[in-house]
Amino acid sequence: MNPLPTETVAKVNTKKRKNWAHIKKYKALYLMSIPGILYFFIFKYVPMAGSIIAFQDYNIFAGFIDSSWVGFKHFIAMFDNPDIFNIIRNTFIISFYDIIFNFPASIILALLLNELRVVLYKRIIQTVVYMPHFLSWVIISGLFMTILSPSNGIVNNLIESLGFNPIYFFGSEEYTRPILIGSGIWQSIGWGTIIYLAALSGINPELYEAAKVDGANRWQQTIKITLPSLLPTITILFLLQIGQFLDFGFERVYTFLNPLNGGTGHIIDTYIYEVGLQNAQYSLTTAMGLFKSLIGLFLLFIANFLSRKATGNSLY
């Protein structure tokens, strides 16, 4: 490297000294932030780096450094094993259904709530629909099992009283996905409306007045004014959702599974827990986790790009 001209060295030195003086002056601020930075480093970034075990045959005694490198062996094994392939397919299908049904549900409910004119009624409904968000998945799954029980569940009592045979909801694979998606909507539909309702209340009422003068009915007003006004909010939330595409939530699925209905319900996260953690298949399941994260990141980039082109809204 060429030696730097002396002036530049002097400049750099004074800059350094200035920086140092600045840090010294506000050292309390920097000190205060150290535990938080360490937290993110140790519990988020070290594990991310630890993902390299996906390319190793990780040996718990040898550790990250000394375990043997095996390249893409575990990624190849993932797609060669029909069971694992089935798990990956499940994850995609369930996530896809969740976006199709769950994401629009909150938007529709927000639009409906926005049309309620009786303030007290609106407030009561809102209070109630937010509530399931605060219940744990263990409780929600227990609740669904109770209601859908084949012997004395309230839903099957109703089905029987109408003259049909009771349905064994939790005992057959064909109902796993509808139950997962349905319970997801039940839990989050109300909570999801909060941001949309705020966006709706921010729409300039003059727009509606003008539309009325032009002879637009309520439906036309919704299509021409309300939805376009919500579009930026919808886009941002949709992008966030896409980023989490395969992060379906371990608890949300695991609490609903039993030996009878797991075939269509097991997802990557539940597989990582059962096979990775409980049976110590560390490298293989880390490869699956890495695959899942990369797909999520990839979809986010694509969706963000498309959204920026189409609507001008993007996350970054």
Partner 1 sequence: MGLKVSKSRKIFNVFNYSFVGILSLTMVLPIIHILAKSFSSSSAVAEGKVIFWPVEFDLINYQYVFQDASIWRAFGITVLITVVGTLINLIATASLAYPLSRPEYKGRRIILLGVIFTMIFSAPLIPTYLVIKQLGMIDSLWALLIPNAISAFNFIVMRSFFQQIPASLIDAARIDGCNELGILTRIVLPYSKPVMATMTIFYGVYHWNSYQNALYFLNDPRLYPLQVKLREMIQSDDLSIDVETTISTEFMNSTEGIQMATIIIAIVPILLLYPLLQKHFVKGVMLGSLKE
Site for partner 1 in 167-186 (CB under 8 A): 168-171, 186
213 is an interface residue for partner 1 by CB under 8 A: no
201 is an interface residue for partner 1 by CB under 8 A: no
* 28, 50, 84, 175, 292 from 43: Cα distances, Å: 24, 11, 28, 37, 19
As measured in angstroms, the least distance from the Cβ of 9 to partner 1 is: 22
135 is an interface residue for partner 1 by CB under 8 A: yes
Which residues in 90-230 belong to E strands, given as ranges? Answer: none
Q: Between 90 and 276, name the residue whose CB sits nearer to partner 1.
A: 276
Structure tokens at 34: 């150290």
Q: How many CB atoms lie within 10 A of CB 65?
A: 7
Out of 3, 134, 162, 213, which residue is the one contacting partner 1 (CB under 8 A)? 134
Q: Between 11 and 22, name the residue whose CB sits nearer to partner 1.
A: 22
Q: In whole angstroms, give the CA distance from residue 243 to residue 296.
A: 5
Out of 102, 276, 303, 307, which residue is the one contacting partner 1 (CB under 8 A)? 276
32 is an interface residue for partner 1 by CB under 8 A: yes
Out of 14, 146, 279, 311, which residue is the one contacting partner 1 (CB under 8 A)? 146
Q: Between 10 and 138, name the residue whose CB sits nearer to partner 1.
A: 138
The SS3 call for residue 204 is coil
Q: Between 198 and 210, name the residue whose CB sits nearer to partner 1.
A: 198
273 is an interface residue for partner 1 by CB under 8 A: yes
19 is an interface residue for partner 1 by CB under 8 A: yes
Q: What are phi and psi of 81, to 5 degrees?
A: -85, 115
* Side-chain-facing half-sphere of 266: CA atoms under 13 Å: 18
Out of 87, 90, 132, 200, which residue is the one contacting partner 1 (CB under 8 A)? 132
234-263 binders of partner 1 (CB under 8 A): 243, 247, 250-251, 254-255, 258-261
Rama region for 3: left / alpha / beta (φ>0; ψ in -120 to 50; rest): beta
Strand (E) or helix (H) holding 68: strand 68-69
115 is an interface residue for partner 1 by CB under 8 A: yes
Q: In whole angstroms, give the CA distance from residue 172 to residue 30.
A: 57
